[in-house]
Amino acid sequence: GQQLNQSPQSMFIQEGEDVSMNCTSSSIFNTWLWYKQDPGEGPVLLIALYKAGELTSNGRLTAQFGITRKDSFLNISASIPSDVGIYFCAGPPVETQGGSEKLVFGKGMKLTVNP
Amino acid sequence: NAGVMQNPRHLVRRRGQEARLRCSPMKGHSHVYWYRQLPEEGLKFMVYLQKENIIDESGMPKERFSAEFPKEGPSILRIQQVVRGDSAAYFCASSTYRERETQYFGPGTRLLVL
């Protein structure tokens, strides 16, 4: 089945530092989504990207849709303790669109922020 | 604006019992998706439904699992004769028709099978 390769798997940073994570796929995506999940909760949508090359910001978060349509990255600037959580990339593979828009998820990046 | 609602949040069942998980989509959303998450893993698609229709159930086990989204009321994911391997977090997501790929998730139901 489809897989998204997300890296790194975990990061430990100091409060105030920036962090970057990325996601790659062997197949093309028309949409990239970035979610954050806190323990015991559901994923919360952070940013949605719909166009190759698109760069979108949401507060301290910036995400880009790779030009090849096979990758995306997420940056968090000036991290704060509440940024702690697991970040997932996700998207519907092109071949499933038009019928089912089921999402494929990466395995997640666990972020720890030391105050 | 109420988000996606799921209940119960936690469910404990003994092997062989039935589990019923409920999901009410976000207001204005007509499409519902169910995903399963094992510890330390990403979410895995199970089934996609519109009102009274199953669109894609390719991720759902053929036996013991079923899903519905009736004309009135929440979507239900039903697991019959649960086994220990069914223990997981089950998440529901919803979307509009026009933006089906932009899915908003509920808080999940944590199922524990003893």
d(CA B51, CA A23): 33
Q: Do A102 and B48 touch (CB under 8 A)?
A: yes
Which residue among B43, B44, B55 sits closest to A100, beta carbon to beta carbon? B55
Q: Do A106 and B42 touch (CB under 8 A)?
A: yes
Q: Do B102 and A91 touch (CB under 8 A)?
A: no
List, for chain A, all residue ranges whose pLDDT scores fall below the cut of 70: 1-2, 95-100
Q: Do B48 and A100 touch (CB under 8 A)?
A: yes
pLDDT at residue B92, as a whole number? 97
Place of tokens 């702690």: A84
Q: For chain A, what percent of residues have pLDDT higher than 90?
A: 80
Q: Are the C-beta atoms of residues B113 and B86 closer than 8 Å to each other?
A: yes
Query: What residues have CB less than 8 Å from B61, skipping those under 6 apart?
Result: none
pLDDT at residue B6, as a whole number? 97
pLDDT at residue A97, as a whole number? 55
Q: First vs last Cα of chain B: how many Å apart?
A: 37
pLDDT at residue A98, as a whole number? 57
CA angle A90, A31, A42 (to 5 degrees): 35
Q: Tens-of-pLDDT digits for all 114 residues of chain B?
A: 579 999 999 999 999 999 999 999 999 999 999 999 998 888 999 999 999 999 999 999 999 999 999 999 999 999 999 999 999 999 999 999 888 889 999 999 999 999
> CB of B58 within 8 Å of any CB in chain A?
yes
**In 10 A of CB A8, how many CB atoms?**
12
pLDDT at residue A59, as a whole number? 96
Amino acid found at A114: N
Give pLDDT tens digits for A40-55. 999 999 999 999 999 9
Task: Specify which residues B113 forms β-bridges with.
Answer: B13
> CB of A108 within 8 Å of any CB in chain B?
yes
Chain A positions touching B100 (Cβ under 8 A) are 92, 101
Give pLDDT tens digits for B16-44. 999 999 999 999 999 999 999 998 888 99
Give the closest-approach CA distance of B6 to chain A in angstroms.
Answer: 10
Amino acid found at A91: G
Per-residue H/E/C for A2-26: CCEEEECCEEEEECCCCEEEEEEEC
Q: Is A94 helix (H, G, I), strand (E, B) or coil?
A: helix
CA–CA distances in Å: residue A54 to residues A5, A62, A70 = 20, 10, 13
Q: Do A44 and B42 touch (CB under 8 A)?
A: no
pLDDT at residue B98, as a whole number? 86
- Both tokens assigned to A90: 């996700």
